Structure 1
Amino acid sequence: MRPLSSLAISMARTGVDVIDGQRGRLFLWLPVGFGTGIGSYFALPLEPGPIIWIGIALMALALLISLTRLPPLLAPPAVAALVILMGFGAAGLRAHLVAAPVLGFRYYGPVEGRVIRIDRSASDARRLTLDRVVLTDFSLERTPARVRVSLHAAQEFITPEPGMRLAVTAHLSPPPGPAEPGGFDFKRMAWFDRLGAVGYSRSPALRAGAAEPYALLGVHRLRQTMSDALQTRLPGQRGAFAAAILTGDRTGISPATSEALRGANLSHLLAISGLHMGLLTGVVFYALRLVLALIPGAALKYPIKKIAAMGALMAGGFYLALSGFNVATERAFTMISVMFIAVLLDRRAISLRTVAIAALIILAFQPEVLPEPGFQMSFAATTALVAVFSILRRMRLMVRWPPAARVIVSVVISSAVAGIATAPVAAAHFNRIADYGLLANVLAVPLMGAVVIPAAVFALLLLPIGAEGVALWAMGQGIGWILGVAGTVSSWQGAVTHIASPPGASLPLIAFGGLFVILWRGRWQGIGIAPVALGFMLWAMAERPALLIADDGSLTGRMTAQGRWLSKDKGSGFAAGVWLENDGDLPDQARAAARPPVPLDLGGLRIRQVTGRGWQEAARAACAEADLVILNQLWEEAPLTDCLLIDLGFLCKSGSLALSASSAGGGALRLTSAYGASGLRLWNTPALRWDPPRRAGEVKEKLPPYVMGTVFNIR
């Protein structure tokens, strides 16, 4: 047997060799570590207190000081730990910096504020985001920094625009929690948007005073003018599509067109994101470089490549402003800026290093985007594409191929790689996979890059001299082809496969495994396949809750062999749609309610739901014969001792509920709350006040709502 000292020396040498083998690639792991720290912060069940933050700061400082003294073998792990702590701290700092009051109850009355954003709600109503808000009988300290109001009445008196100060009578409520425990947390997103209330109005908005200065007013008017002109010159859905990709105005896109684009996996063409920004700046870059190269002597006297890069950056900045500084466009502009700055610094423009730098910049300033599908899909596709084409470039497989063949093969490879890389993210967040998406993208994306975007650039350049007609015609033809592909492919049998939502660990495991395969160099590269396989295995084994209860108590959903049965075919439509989508089912509430009804009883637990007139007597009667009663009213009479009553008071503090088999076994059932699953966080204060009622003999174990999202086990 080898002496322990010799074994230790051998292991140390092996570790040094492994680290040396990753020289030049360790930088690529910085955004992975930074993102791990951000994800750790968001995954916490409890908001860190001052002592924890002080401890983290001291640990980071100690690591930073020790870096200059550590041996080569320990330096990379120390840097990794430091970067993780920095990501954790960045997320926490951002969460505290954006802190703003949140409405604590339903409000009906006058709402006054300055318009800062105009968009459309899911019901296609005009929606306004207001800041500098004034509410009746609210002090400044209690007034939300921003509110969002959907206008359902005809606006006959004013046309809202950014900077306008207006007043409207509106119904407001706090940002809603997840539709089911562990689901999408709108409260968290609203917190980082400083959105303290959301609601609607059925009365016209009125001007409340002189317009206040607003930097984007001129941009908004330009956007609106361009959108109106495009939809006039290109009538129908072609003009609406053109307005969406150039100005971000989607108001003209019909529901049928949106559904066709989603069914063909072409909805990404509608959003101003990395593809559009890359195509537009690429067209400007190569056009400027070509024009400058045609000037005699210019290429010898001036750095035309850098001049073209500066011009492309300016074009990208203009496109960013034109989109209304949309979050996805800001992310795309950051990525493009890093690429062109690399050109200015005589570095390789497209590489994994530029992708890593862009990810670090975005996550440092907006750590809250990490859980969002837009960020995940953008960087999944970009990282995979850069890695694959770097391999192809080193192999020199297509060097001698004809240019046309290289273009066709590159498009097919790009669509396949991007589709594979983003498929798990799309399935996890949107619960659907477009089975013919690869074919649709191969048929549509080349037209987007070769016709639509270049024609849009030329139309803008020719607009001052009134010669934009030909460019707009070409643009319309390309858009017509894209819409035709979307309509045809989405109409095929089996075009869309619905996927159930994965457990929380699946997507991080798949992402980390994929990144390990791409970023690691050497014989251990294949280890990354293990976490990918584990993530998919957990996804396949995940079970959906047997019973779901909406946060207003008016809708329940019981899982059956035919799918989830819903207690009513109308009302609480948002919760119903989310439940069915997360089940991997068609989001059709009426069809789900028409399934054969089943008792709500589960595992020997007798469950009743009470709604409608005479609910007081019905609740008493149900409590006499059931163990658990769900009520969509606030019970203010003497407590019912014969059952566990889940009324509006309970649901106000718990959020939506899920009942499923407990991992404890023995027939136990686990009741999980939405706020409990989200944890006691800055954006999730209702759980702080939750002390759910107990029923002696049935509630065997009661846990705080921040412990694994478990409220209590019922036996």
Structure 2
Amino acid sequence: MRVLARVDAALLNQTGYLFQWSPICLAVGIGLYFSLRFEPEWHVYACLLLGVAVLVWIGRARRTGWAALAMGGALIAAGFMLAGARAHSVAEPVLSWRYYGPIEGRVVAMDRSASDALRVTLDRVRVGDVPVNRRPQRVRLSLHGGPASLAPGQRIMTTGHLSPPQGPVEPGGFDFRRHAWFQGLGAVGYTRVPVMTIAPATDATEGVRITALRMAISERVRAILPGEVGGFAAAVTTGDRSGMGQETLNSLRASNLAHLLAISGLHMGLLTGFVFLVFRLCLSAIPEVALRLPVRKMAASFALVAAVIYLMLSGGNVATERAFVMVSVMLGAILIDRRAISLRAVAVAALIVLILRPESLLSPGFQMSFAATTALVAVFGQLRGYGPMPGSKWTKPVAGLLLSSAIAGLATAPIGAAHFNTMSHYGLLANMLSVPVMGTIVVPAAFVAALLAPFGLESVALNVMGLGLKWILTVSQHVSTLDGAQGYVVSPPHYVLPMIALGALWLALWQGRAKWIGIIPVVTAFLTWEQAHRPEVLIADSGGLVGVMSENGRALSKEKGSGFIATVWLENDGDGVDQMKAASRWPDGADMVKRYTWQGKELIHITGKRAAQGFDECQGHQIVVSAVDLNLSGDCGLFDPNRLKETGSLAISNDRITTSQETIGQRLWSPAITENRNFKRDQ
């Protein structure tokens, strides 16, 4: 009883600081939903709904610390139900087989693929004679058939390949099928023939018209600022990255400046902050206005309007929506005479984002944005208690910028390393040289260009903007070529990031000495990450690639083909080599039959129909992986496309085989699990 009384007293001592825990509880419920390996039935939601009602009643009826726990439990259950409702609400048909034939649809979005090909998203799709009830509502198509002049709203036709969204390239990896489910993508593919326009953009909806306006602005910007600078300018103004090459993108990533491409919290904050400052200064300069009207609130209103316009013109993607919510909450706080920058405001923004898009919890953008914001607000809130920052009026801004960059970098580094397996060792230097230019030159010039555009004078401001962007690209190119500019990190176990996040949030939000308990899960998580082990053998779900962990790193069975899978495997290993280098680690063998002796077993990888026709051995100590269907007799472990279609990608460690289908389970976005009687678990 004494322990319970102490817990009750500790919770009562947090009165006034508990609201900040609301989005955390909601996020826990959302995370629990996505961590399941089965899709909950309706009676699970009914029980949760009843539980929420009971917990809310307990929380409102009692005025003890335990009431806070009851409300927290209600939020966890609500988060679970919210994620389930969202997953069911976006349900659309998903192609369940590989298709080749005519494809027709309306262009609603354009970007570039990892291979630097133009990629279009189509809706109102027609796919051969596929019936309506099985026809994807949206498909994404990479165009490899030569240059095409396309515009949003056009209806196009081509002949190409489509397939279902791909599952994880290894068990426990990123599940693109889940991502595509929430994006409404029912199929992805490519075409190698030219695209024909069969109808102009005459029936464009409002969303398509806005996209067409964005593309027109992007073309105008690139016409004034040619080359990579123009592509960069279009990316930060309209979200259109189609004008940027892969080399530039890679240098920005290596220098930790890729966040300047995404229209997120930094851009939205810089723009609204600049608009707020300009309008406040202008209004304050008019005595009649400054003395009689609430200038600060009027400036906040103008900044909010600017944020809405920027949201529409930038494409309104998830990152931009999240940034808009955050600045709207802070500007709204000004309008109702509340502190604009506080942990409570950050909590409100996080709640809104999670309610609107629960799936965003899993995205690195959401995690990094709120990690950086929470860390900055918490640290500077603590420093405020020690008085003003020492130094002169010239050194204070520099010290503040250094401190802000360091805090944001430390807060987001584990998240970036876990998701992207890289760390930029000179990222702080690159950001110190680039972010001030973005805030003082690029964003103001973009705002002035928007004001001058109706008069045809935008080129003056865009050229100034181009100077700032050229400086940023120069910094990224120089920093990315420094020795040791980029390090590689092995992927952590799936529970490491939640442990780090919960421990860090406890440190930031809990009041009193008990906050230091948060250090324990953070340290434990990093120690666990340090001891992380990668699978000894990886097998692609197509049977087209095999990777074995050797003394020198993972050896790949092919030096070409399945390039995306090879890249992800090597990145997750924390290995910075390319596929060709990793393939050189594989022992010499026949071109179409690759062999590798591993722990007393022989791994055999077969590619090509000719090699398959000449292969008839199948012994108990062998594991045979084939990119074409095989009909073998014997005791070997056989994984051909027919078998792998049921299991997905495979990982083998300590003589245990793990399949992607097992780790995902049977969810709305995953194909049904079918029994495979010939699948040998002992191999």
Q: TM-score range by the shorter chain?
A: over 0.9
Q: Aligned pair 1:22/2:14, yes or no?
A: yes
Name the stretch that deviates more: 265-274 or 70-79.
70-79
Residue of structure 1 equivalent to 2:661: 675
Residue of structure 2 equivalent to 1:99: 91
User: Which amino acid letter does the alignment assign opposite residue 59 of structure 1?
Assistant: G
Q: Aligned pair 1:609/2:605, yes or no?
A: yes
CA offsets per residue over residues 495-548 of structure 1, 9 Å max, x none?
A: 111001001011110111111100111011110011111111111111101111
User: How many angstroms apart in 2 are the aligned matches of 1:627 and 1:554?
Assistant: 18
Instruction: Give 1:176 shift.
Output: 0.5
Instruction: Give 1:417 shift.
Output: 0.5
User: Which amino acid letter does the alignment assign opposite residue 19 of structure 1?
Assistant: L
- Aligned match of 1:620 in 613, 616, 641? 616
Q: Verify the 8 A CA contact 2:116 2:246 in the aligned structure 1.
A: no
User: How many angstroms apart in 2 are the aligned matches of 1:98 and 1:127?
Assistant: 23
Residue of structure 2 equivalent to 1:357: 348
TM-score w.r.t. structure 2 length? 0.96
Instruction: Give 1:587 shift.
Output: 4.8
- Aligned match of 1:260 in 251, 257, 279? 251
Residue of structure 2 equivalent to 1:146: 138
Residue of structure 2 equivalent to 1:597: 587
User: Which amino acid letter does the alignment assign opposite residue 641 of structure 2?
Assistant: L
Instruction: Give 1:643 shift.
Output: 1.8
Residue of structure 1 equivalent to 2:651: 658
Name the stretch that deviates more: 403-412 or 605-614.
605-614
- Aligned match of 2:536 in 534, 541, 546? 546
Q: Aligned pair 1:499/2:489, yes or no?
A: yes
Change (3 A) 1:117 1:510: same
User: How many angstroms apart in 1 are the aligned matches of 2:572 and 2:257?
Assistant: 22
- Aligned match of 2:670 in 684, 699, 708? 684
Q: Verify the 8 A CA contact 1:227 1:243 in the aligned structure 2.
A: yes
User: How many angstroms apart in 2 are the aligned matches of 1:559 and 1:628?
Assistant: 16
Q: Verify the 8 A CA contact 2:500 2:525 in the aligned structure 1.
A: yes
Residue of structure 1 equivalent to 2:634: 641
Name the stretch that deviates more: 599-608 or 486-495.
599-608
Q: Verify the 8 A CA contact 1:489 1:495 in the aligned structure 2.
A: yes
Change (3 A) 1:215 1:112: same
User: How many angstroms apart in 2 are the aligned matches of 1:234 and 1:627?
Assistant: 59
Q: Cα RMSD over matched residues?
A: 1.8
User: Which amino acid letter does the alignment assign opposite residue 627 of structure 1?
Assistant: Q
Residue of structure 2 equivalent to 1:329: 320
Residue of structure 2 equivalent to 1:664: none
User: How many angstroms apart in 1 are the aligned matches of 2:623 and 2:463?
Assistant: 64
Paired residue secondary structure (2:159): strand
1:25-424 aligned at under 5 Å gives the runs 25-155=17-147, 159-209=149-199, 211-398=202-389, 401-424=391-414
Q: Verify the 8 A CA contact 1:547 1:600 in the aligned structure 2.
A: no
Q: Verify the 8 A CA contact 1:181 1:656 in the aligned structure 2.
A: yes
Aligned length: 676
CA offsets per residue over residues 289-334 of structure 1, 9 Å max, x none?
A: 1111111210122112111111111111111111111221111111
Instruction: Give 1:54 shift.
Output: 2.0
Name the stretch that deviates more: 134-143 or 365-374.
134-143
Residue of structure 2 equivalent to 1:699: none
User: How many angstroms apart in 1 are the aligned matches of 2:455 and 2:285?
Assistant: 23
Q: Verify the 8 A CA contact 1:153 1:202 in the aligned structure 2.
A: yes
Name the stretch that deviates more: 426-435 or 404-413.
404-413
CA offsets per residue over residues 661-695 of structure 1, 9 Å max, x none?
A: 1xxxxxxx110111211121111124x22425245
CA offsets per residue over residues 197-252 of structure 1, 9 Å max, x none?
A: 00111222223346323113443333233222322322332222111111112122
Change (3 A) 1:336 1:224: same
User: How many angstroms apart in 2 are the aligned matches of 1:713 and 1:429?
Assistant: 32
User: Which amino acid letter does the alignment assign opposite residue 553 of structure 1?
Assistant: G
Paired residue secondary structure (1:672): strand
Q: Verify the 8 A CA contact 1:114 1:212 in the aligned structure 2.
A: no
Residue of structure 2 equivalent to 1:631: 626
- Aligned match of 2:448 in 455, 458, 468? 458
User: Which amino acid letter does the alignment assign opposite residue 676 of structure 2?
Assistant: D
Paired residue secondary structure (2:166): coil
Q: Aligned pair 1:484/2:458, yes or no?
A: no
Residue of structure 2 equivalent to 1:666: none
Residue of structure 1 equivalent to 2:591: none
Paired residue secondary structure (2:656): strand
Change (3 A) 1:45 1:32: same
User: How many angstroms apart in 2 are the aligned matches of 1:481 and 1:242?
Assistant: 12
Instruction: Give 1:602 shift.
Output: 3.3
User: Which amino acid letter does the alignment assign opposite residue 212 of structure 2?
Assistant: R
User: How many angstroms apart in 2 are the aligned matches of 1:617 and 1:475?
Assistant: 61
- Aligned match of 2:425 in 412, 426, 435? 435
Instruction: Give 1:91 shift.
Output: 0.5
User: Which amino acid letter does the alignment assign opposite residue 582 of structure 2?
Assistant: A
Paired residue secondary structure (1:340): helix
Q: Verify the 8 A CA contact 1:610 1:618 in the aligned structure 2.
A: no
User: Which amino acid letter does the alignment assign opposite residue 532 of structure 1?
Assistant: V
Residue of structure 2 equivalent to 1:516: 506
Q: Verify the 8 A CA contact 1:459 1:469 in the aligned structure 2.
A: yes
Q: Verify the 8 A CA contact 1:619 1:629 in the aligned structure 2.
A: no
User: How many angstroms apart in 1 are the aligned matches of 2:146 and 2:408?
Assistant: 43
Paired residue secondary structure (2:206): coil
Paired residue secondary structure (1:67): helix
User: How many angstroms apart in 2 are the aligned matches of 1:315 and 1:96?
Assistant: 34
User: Which amino acid letter does the alignment assign opposite residue 260 of structure 2?
Assistant: L
Q: Verify the 8 A CA contact 1:650 1:692 in the aligned structure 2.
A: no
TM-score w.r.t. structure 1 length? 0.91
Structure 1 residue runs of 5 or longer lacking an equivalent are 1-7, 662-668, 696-711
User: How many angstroms apart in 2 are the aligned matches of 1:509 and 1:313?
Assistant: 36
User: Which amino acid letter does the alignment assign opposite residue 183 of structure 2?
Assistant: D
Q: Verify the 8 A CA contact 2:557 2:605 in the aligned structure 1.
A: no
Paired residue secondary structure (2:134): coil
User: How many angstroms apart in 2 are the aligned matches of 1:572 and 1:648?
Assistant: 14
User: Which amino acid letter does the alignment assign opposite residue 488 of structure 1?
Assistant: H
User: Which amino acid letter does the alignment assign opposite residue 356 of structure 1?
Assistant: A
User: How many angstroms apart in 1 are the aligned matches of 2:282 and 2:388?
Assistant: 31
User: Percent same amino acid at aligned positions?
Assistant: 48
Q: Aligned pair 1:585/2:570, yes or no?
A: no
User: How many angstroms apart in 2 are the aligned matches of 1:177 and 1:596?
Assistant: 26
User: How many angstroms apart in 2 are the aligned matches of 1:539 and 1:600?
Assistant: 29
Instruction: Give 1:617 shift.
Output: 4.7
Instruction: Give 1:613 shift.
Output: 4.0
User: Which amino acid letter does the alignment assign opposite residue 673 of structure 1?
Assistant: T
Q: Verify the 8 A CA contact 1:630 1:647 in the aligned structure 2.
A: yes
CA offsets per residue over residues 346-378 of structure 1, 9 Å max, x none?
A: 111111111111111111110111111111111
Q: Verify the 8 A CA contact 1:546 1:559 in the aligned structure 2.
A: yes
User: Which amino acid letter does the alignment assign opposite residue 502 of structure 1?
Assistant: P
